[in-house]
């Protein structure tokens, strides 16, 4: 059995839904769907109005969104019977959203509102397949996808519940389920964070021991650089799990950063495929490495670097511990670290407690902060005995000021910190030198 996940653009219109239906019929797989593109953003906007106690603003967005869905229904279904069923489905979910315009609005209600996008898209797809004569069965994610008290998915619960649900439908041709949404440890509706449908797919894949997890999106696989920023990027055919995880963590939006771990732990290959071009080979992610090859570049925005310089650091045991403890006290993860005899530089992307952190660090040395920075991450099989890759990276960036360089934490990446204003030319220069044979 395979798990096939389709993102928002892949189900973004009636025509796209019809195209997806063709791709998913024929094999008894589990299909995970996101909300139709733009929907989750609209639900966030509705919630924002409700937090601000502006029900009129919320209703305006709700009505516009509902109208869009009624339009999709006319286009998607051909019989009156299914048009009617789909209208009832849409009405049910929008009536539910409207109930929140009348009362107190908290984080709890917001999670319920945000869940409606995936509930609608999967309901619509399931009805469409049924209209086409396919015996597809809707498996509600809220009945098996669950996080624990630490807000981490609970794999034992997920496996037990999901397998039971699948066993109840032995005659099903195909299963449809929602990405992104789940229940938390208290049984309340929750989600796996924005973009989290990829995570749903890999958790499901791990739970059923899938033969493969396919992430279908609007591009032909992982490109060797960010196609939104750089000219002439091309798809990478193979990635190791670690390489894919580094790229996802450092900004390659095609994959949610959490998606790789469950697949890697269970050694399930992940394939990235293009819904608009289904015959393209896409990217295969597995435990295979390609010796000595630089694969791709990604960039993570909104980074702040903090340098602590201390004359007393020389030979001082415990200095790094004290520095790291301050970040831990403020629940602020560190991304990059570089050290010298007299100081240490770190980067963070969560600035919530920056002032307190800087204040506390001043006990141990002179502190300076650089904001609006970007981590550029070069990924591949970069084991230290593969000579020359550092030279190629540094040569590519010879005209770009680099604030920090980090290598050796893993065999898979070199990270460099540059100013946000230098991001585009840094990424372009790396593509030109590493992949496009420009001197």
- Choice from 153, 195, 205, 365 touching ligand ASP (CB under 6 A): 195
Buried b (16+ CB within 10 A) or exposed e, 26-43: eeebbbbbbbbbebbebb
Interface with Mg ion by CB under 5 A: which residues?
7, 195
What's the length of the chain?
Answer: 439
Of 18-26, 83-91, 248-256, 316-324, the segment contacting ligand ADP by CB under 6 A is 248-256
CB of 205 to Mg ion, least distance (A): 16
Q: Please say which residue, 195 or 257, places its beta carbon nearer to Mg ion.
A: 195
Q: Please say which residue, 248 or 361, places its beta carbon nearer to Mg ion.
A: 248
Rounded to an integer, what distance in angstroms lies between the CA atom of residue 118 and that of residue 128?
15
Of Mg ion, ligand ASP, ligand ADP, none, which one does residue 117 interact with (CB within 5 to 8 Å by kind)? ligand ASP
> 374 and 303 in contact (C-beta within 8 Å)?
yes
- Choice from 123, 196, 251, 343 touching ligand ASP (CB under 6 A): 196
Sign of CA dihedral 105, 107, 110, 115: negative
Q: Is 232 in the site for ligand ADP (CB under 6 A)?
A: no
Query: Strands 181-183, 294-309: parallel, antiparallel or unpaired by DSSP?
Result: unpaired
CB of 176 to ligand ADP, least distance (A): 17
Buried b (16+ CB within 10 A) or exposed e, 158-169: bbebbeebbeee
- Choice from 14, 21, 32, 35 touching ligand ASP (CB under 6 A): 35
Instruction: Show the site string, 185-204: x = touches ligand ADP by CB under 6 A, - = not.
Output: ----------x---------
Six token digits for residue 272: 């990235």
Q: Is 194 in the site for ligand ASP (CB under 6 A)?
A: yes
Q: Is 252 in the site for ligand ADP (CB under 6 A)?
A: yes
Of ligand ASP, Mg ion, ligand ADP, none, which one does residue 35 interact with (CB within 5 to 8 Å by kind)? ligand ASP
Binding stretches for ligand ASP (CB under 6 A): 7-8, 34-35, 40, 117, 179-180, 194-197
């Amino acid at each position: 059995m395979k798990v096939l996940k389709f993102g928002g653009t892949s189900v973004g219109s009636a025509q796209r839904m019809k195209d997806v239906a063709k791709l998913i019929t024929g094999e008894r797989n589990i299909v995970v769907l996101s909300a139709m593109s733009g929907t989750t953003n609209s639900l966030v906007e509705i919630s924002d109005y409700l937090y601000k106690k502006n029900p009129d603003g919320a209703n305006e967005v709700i009505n516009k969104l509902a109208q869009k869905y009624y339009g999709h229904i006319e286009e998607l279904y051909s019989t009156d019977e299914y048009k009617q069923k789909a209208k009832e489905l849409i009405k049910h979910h929008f009536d539910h959203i409207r109930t929140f315009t009348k009362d107190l609005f908290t984080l709890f209600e917001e999670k319920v509102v945000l869940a409606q996008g995936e509930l609608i898209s999967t309901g619509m797809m399931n009805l469409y397949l049924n209209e086409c004569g396919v015996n597809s069965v809707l498996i509600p994610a809220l009945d098996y996808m669950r996080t624990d008290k630490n807000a981490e998915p609970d794999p034992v619960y997920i496996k037990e519940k999901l397998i039971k649900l699948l066993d109840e439908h032995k005659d099903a041709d195909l299963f449809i389920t929602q990405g992104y949404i789940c229940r938390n440890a208290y049984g309340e509706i929750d989600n796996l964070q924005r973009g989290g449908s990829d995570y749903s797919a890999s958790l499901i894949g791990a739970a059923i021991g899938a033969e493969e997890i396919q992430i279908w999106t609007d591009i032909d696989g992982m490109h060797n650089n960010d196609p939104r920023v750089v000219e002439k990027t091309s798809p990478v055919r193979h990635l190791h799990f670690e390489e894919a995880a580094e790229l996802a963590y450092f900004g390659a939006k095609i994959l949610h950063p959490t998606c790789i771990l469950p697949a890697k732990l269970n050694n399930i290959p992940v394939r990235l495929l293009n819904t608009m071009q289904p015959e393209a080979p896409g990217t295969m992610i597995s435990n295979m490495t390609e010796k000595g090859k630089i694969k791709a570049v990604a960039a993570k925005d909104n980074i702040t670097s903090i340098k602590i310089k201390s004359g007393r650091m020389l030979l001082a045991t415990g200095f790094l511990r004290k520095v790291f403890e301050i970040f831990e006290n403020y629940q602020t993860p560190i991304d990059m670290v570089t050290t010298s005899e007299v100081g240490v530089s770190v980067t963070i992307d969560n600035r919530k407690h920056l002032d307190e952190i800087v204040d506390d660090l001043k006990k141990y040395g002179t502190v300076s902060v650089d904001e609006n920075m970007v981590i550029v991450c070069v990924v591949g099989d970069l084991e230290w005995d593969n000579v020359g890759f550092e030279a190629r990276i540094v040569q590519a960036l010879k005209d770009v000021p680099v604030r920090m360089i980090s290598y050796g934490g893993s065999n898979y990446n070199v990270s460099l910190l540059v100013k946000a204003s230098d991001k585009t030319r840094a990424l372009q220069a790396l593509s030109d030198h590493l992949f496009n044979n420009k001197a």
